[in-house]
Amino acid sequence: MRLMPALLLASATLFAGSTAQAAAPNVVVSIKPIHSLVAAIMQGVGEPKLIVEGAASPHTFNMKPSNAAALQKADLIFWIGHGMEAFLEKPLEALSSKASVVTLEDAPGLHKLKFREGGVFEPEAEDDDGHDHGAADGAEAVHDDGDHDLQGFDTHLWLDPMNAKAFAQEIERRLVQADPANAQRYQQNGADLMKKLDALDAELKTQLEPVRHKPFVVFHDAYQYFEHRYHVSVAGSITVSPETMPGAERISEIHKKVADLGATCVFAEPQFEPKLLRVVTEGTKARSGVLDPEAGALDQSPDLYFHLMRGLANSLKTCLSNEG
């Protein structure tokens, strides 16, 4: 009996050796949170390439020639969709290779929320450069390119682990389709990932229970999915679109909001200007913290998604449970 695993392994290797096992599919992924899920499912087979690397933000990203070259060589490309990664829309349309492009915002089973408008979330009408921020086309009136079907949902979909599970299922399915020789590996990794996502969800629910409904202010309006899942309450964002810095009127509106809320928390993000945070908290009792919803400060890895979500929960818990 003890010989069995070795025998199986040997025959598996032989079998794989006679097929195209050596060539793991060439996979390219747009942004870190999705890359992490793809990397987890590809563990033991290969590593996906990432486009928005390092501290870059998907909202302000510009394609480099190396990114275009990577897309051209890819067998499989994962992105959320044009609302999140606007910079990828034209390069993907222009792609002359046979790559399969997986638009994850179309994955079955996603829970989608309308892009929010109104109140302190109202986007500024002036100085709009016409770029989308996070919303699918048409979601924000002032950002509408006007050339697509209007669905109007917020595309920061990964900030609910149940959506991450829907992504993971679609990622697994498409990897199996593209590379059937490694199907078993993808399926096993996929099943492990689903279990870990459920455990993460339970952990965050427990952890955030004590700070439910305590209002706080964030840098950009990325958090709806997290709010709905864990009943935390964002009272406003400094900017709706990181591409467009807020004007004086919005700044003073947020400053008033922060002052009215009293001992609230205001959260910066690692990719963006911290000076604005000081301006909106000046003379108030607000505390400050950092949230990193797009993982600008995290190293790419199969575990990044878990670090990202735990990082959000820890920052919220730490700042909001400190009554000051």
Sites of contact with Zn ion (CB under 5 A): 134, 222
**Complex with Zn ion: residue 80 or 176, whichever CB lies closer:** 80
**Complex with Zn ion: residue 78 or 115, whichever CB lies closer:** 115
> Tokens for 38?
């793809």
What is the smallest separation between the CB atom of 247 and Zn ion, expressed in angstroms?
19
What is the smallest separation between the CB atom of 108 and Zn ion, expressed in angstroms?
24
**Complex with Zn ion: residue 131 or 185, whichever CB lies closer:** 131
What is the smallest separation between the CB atom of 224 and Zn ion, expressed in angstroms?
11
What is the smallest separation between the CB atom of 156 and Zn ion, expressed in angstroms?
5
What is the smallest separation between the CB atom of 215 and Zn ion, expressed in angstroms?
20
**Complex with Zn ion: residue 41 or 86, whichever CB lies closer:** 86
Residue 296: phi and psi, rounded to 5, are: -60, -30
CB neighbour list of residue 129: distance below 8 Å, 6 or more residues apart: 243, 244
Phi/psi zone of residue 215: left (φ > 0), alpha (ψ -120 to 50 degrees), beta? beta
**Complex with Zn ion: residue 83 or 134, whichever CB lies closer:** 134
Q: List the one residue out of 210, 250, 211 whose CA is nearest residue 233.
A: 211
**Complex with Zn ion: residue 145 or 260, whichever CB lies closer:** 145
- CB crowding 21-42: b at 16 or more within 10 Å, else e: eeebbbbbbbbbbbbbbbbbbb
What is the smallest separation between the CB atom of 134 and Zn ion, expressed in angstroms?
4
What is the smallest separation between the CB atom of 46 and Zn ion, expressed in angstroms?
29
Which residue in the shown chain puts its C-beta closest to Zn ion? 222
**236 strand-pairing partners:** 217
Q: Cβ(218)–Cβ(234) under 8 Å?
A: yes
**Complex with Zn ion: residue 46 or 296, whichever CB lies closer:** 296
Residue 295: phi and psi, rounded to 5, are: 65, 35
List the alpha helices (DSSP H) in 219-302: 224-230, 248-261, 275-281
Phi/psi zone of residue 231: left (φ > 0), alpha (ψ -120 to 50 degrees), beta? left
> Tokens for 286?
């607000």
Q: Cβ(261)–Cβ(238) under 8 Å?
A: no
